[in-house]
Amino acid sequence: MGCVSVVGIVASTLAGAGAEIQYGCAFLGGHAPHWPWYGIAIAVVRNIDGVNAINEEETKMRLKLPSPGEMNADQKQTYDEAIAGKRGAAPAPMLAWLSSPEMARHATRLGEMLRFNTIFPPKLSEIAILVTARHYGAHYEWWAHKRLALKAGLDEKIIDAIRDRRTPRFDDPRSQMIYDVAKSLHEGHGLAKALYADAVESLSERGLVEIIGLCGYYTLVSMTLNTFEFLLSDGEVFELASATAAA
């Protein structure tokens, strides 16, 4: 697990004459190694006199998430399994779910399967995830998966349209179908007969089941991130809030 910038600490520690960041790494992880880490951020700073000091800054999250050293055996087993998985890091919501270790274990396994082992490439899966994040106004989820969607090759105009609650224009019929299914699931709580038939024809029965799974899993993720008020990195903008205000 690579260390990342420590929010709110780096600037202040570097301001000290001769100060050097010797170790800077928050305890908590995101869905992928490049996601920021949240919770209690700790930086060990070596000053010009060679004296080590520990600076701590607590975020404004509602839940104190455990560091690996604070986890019980069941929690640590789930945490280690996530680190060894395809994500290479502990998913951010999993750290909240660890209050129920068995739930955390199974939910994290489901999330890994849906992220990496469906019949859809990331470019298509991210459409369902972004529609879900937008529906729930999940700032953290939107922020993280917008970047993953762009990396996967999803057109930024499509992402912006989802953010602004406008209907995107798709060139690929399967992309359009995934958007229509995800939107109907969240806003209509199901699929009309015609949409269901079209979805099975376009996506296959397995594909439809997996899109339902993505929408359901990321509903759980969005509710978790919203309830415990996971934070964005310092300086990041709440895109969904600004889009809502402009609407």
- pLDDT tens string for the chain (247 positions)? 333 333 332 233 233 333 332 223 333 333 333 333 333 332 222 232 333 332 333 446 788 878 888 999 999 999 899 988 888 888 888 888 998 999 999 999 999 999 999 999 999 999 999 999 999 999 889 988 999 999 999 999 999 999 999 999 999 999 999 999 999 999 999 999 999 999 999 999 999 999 999 999 999 999 998 898 887 666 566 777 655 544 5
Provide the pLDDT for residue 233: 66
Provide the pLDDT for residue 66: 80
Contacts of 26 (CB under 8 A, 6+ apart): 4, 6, 7, 36, 37, 38, 39, 40, 41, 42
CB burial readout 110-128, b (16+ within 10 A) else e: ebbebbeebebebbbbbbb
Residue 162's closest CA among 140, 137, 198? 137
Provide the pLDDT for residue 216: 97
Burial of 104 (0-12, 13-18, 19+ CB in 10 A): buried
Provide the pLDDT for residue 91: 82
Provide the pLDDT for residue 44: 26
Cβ 147 vs Cβ 122: under 8 Å: no
Provide the pLDDT for residue 64: 81
